[in-house]
């Protein structure tokens, strides 16, 4: 007979305790190691041990405020997670984003993949691929190979003017409240869809979220931005059950519907009867973008080119309509210059007060406020005498950068276009360089910057030369959401025609 020596049950209990003890010690040891490598950076107590603070902040949609407060309280480079730092230092951000920067994108960018496993200009981590994609799309975004860029923007501005004039102008006791928050986004969605697909979605014509794109983004945005903090969540969407919850090209509404448009539009440019046009998509393809890449980049255009610029329009209109002094000076400038209608870009650039107004709107509510991080190079980096260990994720606090009182002055939270005048050359350059971070910097500069500035240079002149806007309830001017970008709605205003159009 074979003899089997069984371990007594009491010994199993002791063995379990030993294993449990070793696991606890391993966890504590790792936690101490994680805390130790960034111990010289201060932050909320819990952030050195877990991502709970970051997760809660993202769920509450207050991360843009919370990280700004962390920088103000704990220093211009502060800790906000076990391996996360956040900064409001423009110089460090320029170093991180520069063309020759050794900082790299990290796994958090997987959140911006529209299809799991399919990269685009925002999500791609490989630096070489990112550079190649940019080079293929630069000419299209610059307008040099897009014959209808300016006319597309002008046409949609006049559609916005027509919508307001025919449907929302009130006089006397009439009450025709208008949600300018939604109208601003109908305008930006129609502009970017015209540029991306050659045809507007038609939101301004129907005065509605025609394909429920805006509604869909507001619902899914919080999940997208949470994935940037917890990248492993993206793997769950590869499971059959959860994959079915993702947008699909077969959807009849929402982002899935837009994906279907992208697929159809790009397909028209390939095959035996391919359509050829001198537009943005035509430029992309002429410079070597593949069919799959083109589909992804059209979706990037829609996502980044509508919500962000809509915020800039809403914010600036709110400040102008509640600041009689600034509005009066702006109207005087329009009257003095008597620009064309629609105003041309050279005419707009010749209006210094308009340029200062645009800068202040962008500064006070930076359209992109996500805590998007870059990873420090393996050898680490030293800034202002502080060593950032290799592999550390460093994010920017856009709200903190553009409302920093040490940089902008005690009135940093005030909408004051005059701050841009009477500056010494050195100070002017410093402010302009910092404002440049609104659209990224270096190899991460937003390709759509030129298109965005075209819209902003035109829309305020065209609206305010014709209409007066009055906030109906100044105590509650809007409903504001934040999921890396802002979305403002229920921005109710009363509109009346000016006695004399400027």
**Is the confidence at residue 62, as pLDDT, over 50?**
yes
Residue 31 in any domain: the answer is: no
pLDDT digits (tens, 9 = 90+) for 436-490: 999 999 999 999 999 999 999 999 999 999 999 999 999 999 999 998 899 999 9
**Is the confidence at residue 328, as pLDDT, over 80?**
yes
pTM of the model: 0.92
Residue 21 in any domain: the answer is: no
Residue 96 in any domain: the answer is: yes
Instruction: Kindly state the helix (H) or strand (E) to which residue 458 belongs, with its residue range.
Output: helix 449-464
The boundaries of the domain holding residue 160 are 42-497
Pair 121, 113: CB distance under 8 Å: no
pLDDT of residue 273: 79
Mean pLDDT across the chain, nearest whole number?
91
When divided into structural domains, the chain yields a total of: 1
With bands split at pLDDT 50, 70 and 90, how would you rate the model's confidence at 277?
Answer: confident
The stretch 352-364 carries a mean pLDDT of: 98
pLDDT of residue 239: 75
The stretch 391-400 carries a mean pLDDT of: 97
Q: What's the order of all strands across the beta sheet hosting 178-179?
A: 178-179, 492-497, 467-471
The 10 Å CB-count burial string (b at 16+, else e) for 470-482 is: ebeeeeebbebeb
**Is the confidence at residue 124, as pLDDT, over 50?**
yes
With bands split at pLDDT 50, 70 and 90, how would you rate the model's confidence at 337?
Answer: very high
With bands split at pLDDT 50, 70 and 90, how would you rate the model's confidence at 502?
Answer: confident
**Is the confidence at residue 64, as pLDDT, over 80?**
yes
Q: How many helices (H) and strands (E) does the chain have?
A: 21, 11
**Is the confidence at residue 11, as pLDDT, over 70?**
no
Contacts for 263 with CB less than 8 Å, ≥ 6 apart: 249, 295
The stretch 291-320 carries a mean pLDDT of: 93
Torsion of CA 32, 225, 488, 167, to 10 degrees: 180
Residue 6 in any domain: the answer is: no
Residue 54 in any domain: the answer is: yes
The stretch 49-76 carries a mean pLDDT of: 95
Distance, in Å, from the CA atom of 169 to the CA atom of 178, rounded to the nearest integer, reads 9
pLDDT of residue 28: 63
Q: What are phi and psi of 417, to 5 degrees?
A: -60, -25
pLDDT of residue 246: 79
pLDDT of residue 303: 84
Residue 400 in any domain: the answer is: yes
Name which residue leads in pLDDT, 350 or 4.
Answer: 350
**Is the confidence at residue 172, as pLDDT, over 90?**
no
3-state secondary structure of 248: coil
- Would you tell me how many other CB atoms lie within 10 Å of the CB of residue 12? 11
Residue 2 in any domain: the answer is: no
Name which residue leads in pLDDT, 21 or 26.
Answer: 21
We report the CATH number of the domain holding residue 379 as 1.10.630.10
pLDDT of residue 1: 47
Residue 92 in any domain: the answer is: yes
State whether the Cα torsion 276-281-282-287 is positive or negative.
negative
pLDDT of residue 275: 80
- Whether residue 480 is annotated as binding a ligand: the answer is no
């Amino acid at each position: 007979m074979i003899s089997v020596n069984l371990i007594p049950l009491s010994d199993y209990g002791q063995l379990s305790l030993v294993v449990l003890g070793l696991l606890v010690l391993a966890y504590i040891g790792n936690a101490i190691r994680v805390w130790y490598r960034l111990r010289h950076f201060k932050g909320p107590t819990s952030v050195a041990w877990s991502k709970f603070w970051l997760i809660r902040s993202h769920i509450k949609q207050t991360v843009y405020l919370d990280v700004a407060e962390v920088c103000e309280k704990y220093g211009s480079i502060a800790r906000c997670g076990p391996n996360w730092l956040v900064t409001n230092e423009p110089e460090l951000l320029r170093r991180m984003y520069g063309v020759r920067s050794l900082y790299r994108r990290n796994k958090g960018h997987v959140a911006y993949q529209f299809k799991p496993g399919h990269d685009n200009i925002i999500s791609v981590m490989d630096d070489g691929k990112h550079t190649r994609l940019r080079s293929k799309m630069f000419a299209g975004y610059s307008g040099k190979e897009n014959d209808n860029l300016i006319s597309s923007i002008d046409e949609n501005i006049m559609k916005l003017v027509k919508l307001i004039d025919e449907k929302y102008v009130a006089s006397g006791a009439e009450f025709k409240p208008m949600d300018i928050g939604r109208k601003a986004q109908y305008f930006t969605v129609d502009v970017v869809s015209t540029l991306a697909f050659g045809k507007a979605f038609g939101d301004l014509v129907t005065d509605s979220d025609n394909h429920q794109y805006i509604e869909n983004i507001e619902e899914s945005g919080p999940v997208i931005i949470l994935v940037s903090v917890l990248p492993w969540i993206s793997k769950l969407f590869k499971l059959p059950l959860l994959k079915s919850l993702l947008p699909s090209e077969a959807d009849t509404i929402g982002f899935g519907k837009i994906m279907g448009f992208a697929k159809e539009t790009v397909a028209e440019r390939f095959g035996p009867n391919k359509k050829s046009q001198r537009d943005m998509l035509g430029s992309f393809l002429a410079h070597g973008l593949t069919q799959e890449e083109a589909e992804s980049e059209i979706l990037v255009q829609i996502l980044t080119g509508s919500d962000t610029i809509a915020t800039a329009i809403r914010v600036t209109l709110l400040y102008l309509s509640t600041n009689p002094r600034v509005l009066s000076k702006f109207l005087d400038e329009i009257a003095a210059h008597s620009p064309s209608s629609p105003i041309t870009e050279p005419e707009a650039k010749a209006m210094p007060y308009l340029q200062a107004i645009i800068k202040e709107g962008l500064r006070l509510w930076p359209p992109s406020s996500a805590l998007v991080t870059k990873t420090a190079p393996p050898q680490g980096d030293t800034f202002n005498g502080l060593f950032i260990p290799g592999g550390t994720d460093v994010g920017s606090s856009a709200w903190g950068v553009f409302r920093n009182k040490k940089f902008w002055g005690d009135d940093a939270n005030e909408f004051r276009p005059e701050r841009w005048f009477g500056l010494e050359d050195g100070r002017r350059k410093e402010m302009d360089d910092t404002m440049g971070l609104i659209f990224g910097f270096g190899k991460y500069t937003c390709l759509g910057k030129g298109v965005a500035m075209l819209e902003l240079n035109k829309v305020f002149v065209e609206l305010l030369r014709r209409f007066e806007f009055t906030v109906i309830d100044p105590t509650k001017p809007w409903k504001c959401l934040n999921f890396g970008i802002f979305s403002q709605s229920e921005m109710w205003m009363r509109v009346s025609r000016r006695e004399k159009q400027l």
